[in-house]
Amino acid sequence: MGTVRRTRSALAIAERLATVVCRLLAIAGLLMLLPFAALSVLDGLMREFAGQPIDVVRDFSSVVLAIAIACCMPAGLLDRSHVSLRLLESAAGARAGLFFDAVASILLAVTMGAMAREFVLYSGKLLAGGQVTFLLAVHTWPFWYVVTAVLWVAVLVQVLVATVTVARLFGREPAVDCSSQHGKVDLT
């Protein structure tokens, strides 16, 4: 019983910490998008009416959007707001559905890890090659290393989700529900 209680406690602490980190990252990503959206509108207006685009908007659009999107990924993984098919669960039963959820969670963690690894390699290539933005000649590698770091956070979050799912499969009901919908945490 002590092991189960420690597991529940550790999973609860990890989930609460992950929730805070994921929310902060999502807020940071959205806060990056707000000024970028305003600058994009201003850029369009300046381009149309003054014939003078704002070069910084075009130059930084790919890296700002990459960071903002990456910042929202951990929260989406934690909330399990991805597409899932429940056909097998309805046909084979809840236990089989939980098994397939566990397998899918593990595969998603592996896929996210492979993707994060590729971003490490990509960022390293940008650093080694001295890649810069087109107009302002700002190095792009620091931005891509930020994306890479956030993707590794997403990997850790998905490992947590997979751990909770596997714990459920083996009858150990965790103290928290990582699969809660719409960002609500269900304490059981």
- Distance from C-alpha of 175 to C-alpha of 32, rounded to nearest angstrom: 34
Residue 179 pLDDT more than 70?
Answer: no
pLDDT in tens, 149-178: 999 999 999 999 999 999 888 876 654 455
H or E, element range at 95: helix 94-129
pLDDT in tens, 88-138: 677 777 788 889 889 999 999 999 999 999 999 999 999 999 999 888 899
Distances (CA, A) of 21 to 4, 68, 78, 154: 25, 15, 11, 10
More confident residue, 177 or 146: 146
The token pair at 85 is 């098919």
Comparing CA positions, the residue from 10, 154, 19, 163 lying closest to residue 82 is 154
Residue position matching structure tokens 């130059």: 59
- Distance from C-alpha of 152 to C-alpha of 117, rounded to nearest angstrom: 9
- Distance from C-alpha of 121 to C-alpha of 116, rounded to nearest angstrom: 9
- Distance from C-alpha of 61 to C-alpha of 64, rounded to nearest angstrom: 5
